[in-house]
Structure 1
């Protein structure tokens, strides 16, 4: 079984690419408000809310269990892409590499969100991160729903 790989899925969102991207680009402190059943908090550990290279610590719930994810964020404003590169936390106990990415492409009044997780397992018996792509999907849907009702 492969030790590394990539999972990709695409969602159609009601929110515009600009509006959804803005949440991650400069207002990620609002994510717990938009998706409280998945994300309970986020704090800046180094840097700030808007600068690439900043480090944030997320408190989340997955399968009814609390988790922590420390990541370094990067942005590609031209392509409306956000990447969260895992540094520490629960997910890093089983993956050597973990990088979650949202790429937003305008489509009509909404957008397409391509969600990707790139990973490398620490051990061959570690599962591919399907539960984490499910978390990304549900988180994305909740943020989109919240933004579409604002």
Structure 2
């Protein structure tokens, strides 16, 4: 039977939950402008930017390494500001049978000037020697922090 593993990270961002959710849902094409050192480009691979089932190719600089992933939008929960995506291609998939990412923005406080961002990965290793995708999750959280800082500058 397959063993599904999970990693999760929570960070507080000084930007409205709606802004970070909108960036990750509908304005992904703006991410390379904000984080060009980490994400040089994102392009629609199949479909569009918004529809469940659509795929995008992300060029990434993780540490000193350039790589890419292709991910698919599996679900968008507007009410809970949560997005589910599966990585379906890329070098990282040499270690995993499946790799599903979840992102969620939760408003903090009554003034909605900050939020809690939750990023998590559920994955099945190809074999027990495969590494946990901690570096990939930490990279994603680093991008989110940069986006949150940029969105905070725009809001204030």
The structural deviation recorded for 1:91 is: 1.2
How many pairs does the alignment contain?
149
Give the structure 2 partner of residue 90 of structure 1. 91
Give the structure 1 partner of residue 9 of structure 2. 9
Give the structure 2 partner of residue 122 of structure 1. 126
Give the structure 2 partner of residue 53 of structure 1. 53
Name the CA distance, whole Å, in 2 between partners of 1:59 and 1:39: 6
Residue deviations 1:95-148 (CA, integer Å, cap 9, x gap): 111111111110022110011011111121111111011111101101111111
Give the structure 2 partner of residue 36 of structure 1. 36
Gap regions ≥5 residues in structure 1: none
Give the structure 2 partner of residue 99 of structure 1. 100
Name the CA distance, whole Å, in 2 between partners of 1:75 and 1:37: 27
Instruction: Work out whether residues 3 and 124 of structure 1, in 8 Å CA contact, stay in contact via their aligned partners in 2.
Output: no
Q: 3-state SS of the aligned residue for 1:24?
A: helix
The structural deviation recorded for 1:13 is: 0.6
TM, length-normalised to structure 2: 0.91
Q: 3-state SS of the aligned residue for 1:144?
A: helix
The structural deviation recorded for 1:3 is: 5.0
Q: Residue 81 in 1 paired to residue 82 in 2?
A: yes
- State the 4+ residue runs in structure 1 displaced beyond 2 angstroms: none
